[in-house]
Amino acid sequence: MYQVLVPEAPALAFSAASRQGLKELLETLTARLPVRPAEFPEEQITDLYEREIAVELIREAALIFLQQEVPHALAVRLDEFSERENGNAYIAATLLVERDSQKGIVIGEGGAMLRKIGSAARKEIEAMSGRKVFLELRVKVDKGLARRRKRLAPAGV
């Protein structure tokens, strides 16, 4: 079938299961790739902004600690991301959940769970950014969260 689309492509026999012919396949594909200028500077490792990564790291920390209690009914809203004069960052974010019962789980007894989430996220953000971060987290109930998430999901998901 592929020879109809790319008639000059050689016929190759390979097996992913036994790994036979994979080296030849890789060499053949690599030789046919076009040479283009770099899309990004060499030192740039992602096209995401620091604030977008911070939000994902906060959500990841929450999901790690809450995987049994609040699986995916959680979103993170970035409320503020600012740089301090000393080069450190201040981040305020709100963890949004769908129900009051989930809010209590995310906060935990005496705020213990929220502190664990914040501490883990802060360490990851500091490692990513290479600077000190003051991270302030809040939790709010957003009863329309599930409905909006469904609306934003790609078709068929």
d(CA 151, CA 103): 23
Residues 18 and 95 in one domain: no
Q: Is the pLDDT higher at 155 or at 30?
A: 30
In a domain, 7, yes or no: yes
Residues 27 and 63 in one domain: no
Span 27-46, average pLDDT: 80
Span 144-150, average pLDDT: 69
pLDDT in tens, 60-78: 999 999 987 776 678 999 9
Residues 56 and 20 in one domain: no
d(CA 132, CA 90): 9
Q: Of 134, 123, 151, 145, give the one whose Cα is nearest residue 74.
A: 145
The per-residue pLDDT for 149 is 60
Number of domains in the chain: 2
d(CA 54, CA 120): 12
The per-residue pLDDT for 41 is 80
Residues 140 and 85 in one domain: yes
Give all strands (DSSP E) within the chain, no chain letters.
74-83, 89-97, 133-141
Residue 66's domain is classified under what CATH number? 3.30.300.20
What H or E segment, with its residue span, contains residue 101? helix 100-107
Residues 71 and 126 in one domain: yes
The per-residue pLDDT for 157 is 41
State the pTM of this model: 0.66
The whole domain housing 91 covers 50-152
Write down the mean pLDDT value for the chain. Answer: 85
